[in-house]
Amino acid sequence: MNPLIFVNAPIPASSRKISLADIQFLTDYDPMSYDHWLFNKGSSLDLTGRKQGKALTPQSGAPSYSPNYLTIANALGNGLLTDLSETATAVDTMCVVVRDNATNGLQSILGSLGTAGDNSGGGVFFSGSGAARTLFASYRGTTINSAGLGAPTPAGSHYFVGVSRDFSGGVKRVNMFVGGVASIALTGSNAFAPAPAPRKLGIGSTYIVSAGTPSTSVDFAEAAFYTDVFRSLADLEAMYQKAKVRQAALGIAVV
Predicted confidence pLDDT, tens digits, the chain (255 residues) = 444 333 344 444 444 554 444 444 446 899 999 999 999 999 999 999 999 999 999 999 899 999 999 999 988 899 999 999 999 999 999 999 999 999 888 999 999 999 888 899 999 999 999 999 999 999 999 999 999 999 999 999 999 999 999 999 999 999 999 999 999 999 999 999 999 999 999 999 899 987 666 678 999 999 999 999 999 999 999 999 999 999 999 999 999
Distance CA 190, CA 212 (A): 29
Residue 240 near residue 179 (C-beta atoms within 8 A): yes
Distance CA(220)–CA(101), nearest Å, equals 11
pLDDT at 12: 46
Q: Which of 60, 59, 63 is nearest to 41 (CA)?
A: 63
Instruction: Report how far residue 122's alpha carbon sits from residue 103's, in angstroms, rounded to the nearest whole number.
Output: 23
CA–CA separation, 132 vs 84, rounded Å?
33
